[in-house]
Amino acid sequence: MAASSRSQVLSLYKLLMKESSKFPSYNYRTYALRRVRDAFKENKHVEDSKTVEVLLNKARDNLAVLQRQVSIGQMYATQKIVVEEHRGKKTI
């Protein structure tokens, strides 16, 4: 992987994780964090620059989805669920 795309991947990963952590809903938040992490892990060894570009575009689209959905989630936030109170710190 070229150095430029490497830094792009890393910054996109950070942005996605940061945005995911803003979901007020416990289940959406934990899912988004887990899914982003697993997707990047799964494609860690992709070398082909075309494939990397496709994946990067997919990640950018997903980042936009996350930003919109986090805003909507924040508008209609509800009470926390029981497991958050007990061990909320750990799951985030």
Which positions touch another protein (CB under 8 A)? 26-28, 30-32, 35, 38, 62, 65-66, 68-69, 72-73, 78-87, 90-91
Smallest gap, in angstroms, from Cβ of residue 72 to another protein?
7
Residue 1 or 40 with smaller CB distance to another protein: 40
Nearest residue to 17 via CA among 52, 81, 66: 66
Residue 8 or 69 with smaller CB distance to another protein: 69
Smallest gap, in angstroms, from Cβ of residue 52 to another protein?
18
Residue 1 or 13 with smaller CB distance to another protein: 13
CA distance 84 to 75: 20
Smallest gap, in angstroms, from Cβ of residue 50 to another protein?
19
Residue 40 and residue 56 in contact, taking contact as beta carbons nearer than 8 Å: no
CA distance 80 to 84: 7
Angle, helices 49-75 vs 26-42, to 10°: value is 170
